[in-house]
Amino acid sequence: MPYQCEIQEQSAQPVLSIRTKTSIQELPKVLGEAYRTIAEFLGKSGEQPSGPPFAAYYNMDMQNLDVEAGFPVSHVVAGQGDVQASEIPAGKFATTLHTGPYSDIEPAYQALTKWIDENGHQPAGVAYEMYLNDPAVTPAQELLTRILMPLK
Protein backbone atom coordinates (compact mmCIF):
# COMPACT_ATOMS: atom_id res chain seq x y z
CA MET A 1 0.00 0.00 0.00
CA PRO A 2 1.47 3.40 -0.93
CA TYR A 3 1.50 5.88 1.93
CA GLN A 4 1.22 9.63 1.48
CA CYS A 5 3.44 11.36 4.04
CA GLU A 6 3.44 15.04 4.95
CA ILE A 7 4.41 17.57 7.60
CA GLN A 8 1.72 18.91 9.92
CA GLU A 9 2.12 21.79 12.37
CA GLN A 10 0.12 21.24 15.56
CA SER A 11 -0.77 23.26 18.64
CA ALA A 12 -0.42 21.63 22.04
CA GLN A 13 -3.38 19.32 22.69
CA PRO A 14 -4.55 18.71 26.28
CA VAL A 15 -5.41 15.06 26.94
CA LEU A 16 -6.53 12.74 29.69
CA SER A 17 -4.50 9.57 29.60
CA ILE A 18 -3.17 6.50 31.37
CA ARG A 19 0.51 5.60 30.95
CA THR A 20 1.55 2.01 31.51
CA LYS A 21 3.85 -0.78 30.35
CA THR A 22 2.64 -3.88 28.54
CA SER A 23 3.59 -6.48 25.96
CA ILE A 24 2.40 -6.28 22.36
CA GLN A 25 0.27 -9.38 23.02
CA GLU A 26 -1.63 -7.62 25.83
CA LEU A 27 -1.80 -4.22 24.09
CA PRO A 28 -5.38 -4.46 22.72
CA LYS A 29 -6.73 -5.44 26.15
CA VAL A 30 -4.69 -2.76 27.96
CA LEU A 31 -5.76 -0.02 25.52
CA GLY A 32 -9.41 -1.08 25.74
CA GLU A 33 -9.35 -0.97 29.54
CA ALA A 34 -7.61 2.42 29.54
CA TYR A 35 -10.13 3.93 27.12
CA ARG A 36 -13.06 2.58 29.18
CA THR A 37 -11.58 3.94 32.41
CA ILE A 38 -10.98 7.38 30.89
CA ALA A 39 -14.44 7.46 29.25
CA GLU A 40 -16.04 6.65 32.62
CA PHE A 41 -13.96 9.37 34.30
CA LEU A 42 -14.96 11.89 31.62
CA GLY A 43 -18.63 10.96 32.02
CA LYS A 44 -18.53 11.42 35.79
CA SER A 45 -16.75 14.76 35.31
CA GLY A 46 -19.36 16.00 32.82
CA GLU A 47 -16.67 16.26 30.14
CA GLN A 48 -16.46 14.86 26.61
CA PRO A 49 -13.50 13.83 24.46
CA SER A 50 -12.71 16.44 21.80
CA GLY A 51 -11.38 13.89 19.33
CA PRO A 52 -10.57 10.24 18.69
CA PRO A 53 -8.62 8.06 21.11
CA PHE A 54 -4.86 7.92 20.75
CA ALA A 55 -1.87 5.91 21.90
CA ALA A 56 1.64 7.29 22.36
CA TYR A 57 4.53 4.86 22.14
CA TYR A 58 7.61 5.92 24.09
CA ASN A 59 9.63 2.88 23.02
CA MET A 60 9.31 -0.03 20.62
CA ASP A 61 10.26 -2.86 23.00
CA MET A 62 7.48 -5.28 22.05
CA GLN A 63 7.69 -7.15 25.36
CA ASN A 64 7.83 -4.02 27.54
CA LEU A 65 6.04 -1.26 25.63
CA ASP A 66 5.88 2.10 27.40
CA VAL A 67 2.52 3.35 26.17
CA GLU A 68 0.15 6.19 26.97
CA ALA A 69 -3.51 5.80 25.99
CA GLY A 70 -6.04 8.58 26.12
CA PHE A 71 -8.45 11.06 24.64
CA PRO A 72 -7.94 14.69 23.65
CA VAL A 73 -10.01 17.18 25.65
CA SER A 74 -10.95 20.76 24.83
CA HIS A 75 -9.23 22.18 27.92
CA VAL A 76 -6.99 20.97 30.75
CA VAL A 77 -9.00 18.61 32.95
CA ALA A 78 -7.57 17.53 36.31
CA GLY A 79 -6.99 13.80 36.47
CA GLN A 80 -7.43 11.40 39.34
CA GLY A 81 -5.78 8.07 40.15
CA ASP A 82 -4.42 6.42 37.00
CA VAL A 83 -6.18 8.98 34.77
CA GLN A 84 -3.85 11.94 34.42
CA ALA A 85 -3.85 15.28 32.63
CA SER A 86 -1.16 15.40 29.97
CA GLU A 87 -0.67 16.88 26.50
CA ILE A 88 0.46 16.08 23.03
CA PRO A 89 3.10 18.76 22.55
CA ALA A 90 3.00 21.50 19.95
CA GLY A 91 5.34 21.26 17.01
CA LYS A 92 6.00 19.80 13.60
CA PHE A 93 4.91 16.22 12.98
CA ALA A 94 5.47 13.86 10.09
CA THR A 95 2.21 12.02 9.45
CA THR A 96 0.63 9.34 7.33
CA LEU A 97 -2.67 7.45 7.27
CA HIS A 98 -2.88 3.67 7.56
CA THR A 99 -5.99 1.85 6.32
CA GLY A 100 -6.48 -1.69 7.53
CA PRO A 101 -5.94 -3.91 10.56
CA TYR A 102 -3.83 -2.56 13.40
CA SER A 103 -1.68 -5.68 13.14
CA ASP A 104 -0.66 -4.63 9.58
CA ILE A 105 0.57 -1.13 10.52
CA GLU A 106 4.32 -1.80 10.35
CA PRO A 107 4.68 -0.88 6.62
CA ALA A 108 3.15 2.54 7.41
CA TYR A 109 5.84 3.15 10.04
CA GLN A 110 8.52 2.00 7.59
CA ALA A 111 7.21 4.35 4.89
CA LEU A 112 6.98 7.29 7.31
CA THR A 113 10.45 6.67 8.75
CA LYS A 114 11.93 6.43 5.23
CA TRP A 115 10.13 9.62 4.17
CA ILE A 116 11.40 11.49 7.25
CA ASP A 117 14.98 10.42 6.47
CA GLU A 118 14.75 11.16 2.73
CA ASN A 119 13.40 14.65 3.42
CA GLY A 120 16.16 15.61 5.86
CA HIS A 121 14.11 15.50 9.06
CA GLN A 122 14.84 13.81 12.39
CA PRO A 123 12.19 12.11 14.54
CA ALA A 124 11.96 13.24 18.17
CA GLY A 125 11.21 9.81 19.63
CA VAL A 126 7.53 9.37 20.53
CA ALA A 127 5.15 7.86 17.97
CA TYR A 128 1.43 8.69 18.19
CA GLU A 129 -1.44 6.74 16.70
CA MET A 130 -4.89 8.33 16.39
CA TYR A 131 -7.67 5.76 15.96
CA LEU A 132 -10.13 7.48 13.64
CA ASN A 133 -12.92 4.88 13.68
CA ASP A 134 -14.29 2.29 16.09
CA PRO A 135 -12.97 -1.29 15.74
CA ALA A 136 -16.16 -2.55 17.43
CA VAL A 137 -18.26 -1.47 14.41
CA THR A 138 -15.72 -1.03 11.59
CA PRO A 139 -14.42 -3.98 9.54
CA ALA A 140 -10.67 -4.49 10.12
CA GLN A 141 -9.86 -3.68 6.47
CA GLU A 142 -11.51 -0.25 6.87
CA LEU A 143 -9.85 0.84 10.13
CA LEU A 144 -8.16 4.25 9.83
CA THR A 145 -5.10 5.05 11.93
CA ARG A 146 -3.27 8.39 11.68
CA ILE A 147 0.41 8.01 12.64
CA LEU A 148 2.22 11.13 13.85
CA MET A 149 5.92 11.39 14.65
CA PRO A 150 7.18 14.63 16.20
CA LEU A 151 10.22 16.10 14.47
CA LYS A 152 13.30 17.77 15.98
The pLDDT score that the predictor gives to residue 62 is 84
Q: Which domain holds residue 107?
A: 6-150
The pLDDT score that the predictor gives to residue 76 is 93
> What is the tally of structural domains in the chain?
1
Any domain includes 117: yes
pLDDT in tens, 73-132: 999 999 999 999 999 999 999 999 999 999 999 999 999 999 999 999 999 989 999 999
The pLDDT score that the predictor gives to residue 58 is 95
Any domain includes 1: no
User: What are residue 51's phi and psi, to 5 degrees?
Assistant: -175, -175
Banded pLDDT at 48 (limits 50, 70, 90) = very high
Query: pTM of the predicted model, to two decimals?
Result: 0.93
- Which among 73, 78, 100 is positioned nearest to 88, based on CA atoms? 73
Banded pLDDT at 2 (limits 50, 70, 90) = confident
1: pLDDT strictly greater than 80: no
β-sheet with 6-10: strand ranges across: 6-10, 91-99, 144-150, 127-131, 54-57, 65-72, 13-22, 84-88
- CATH number of the domain that residue 136 is part of: 3.20.80.10
60: pLDDT strictly greater than 90: no
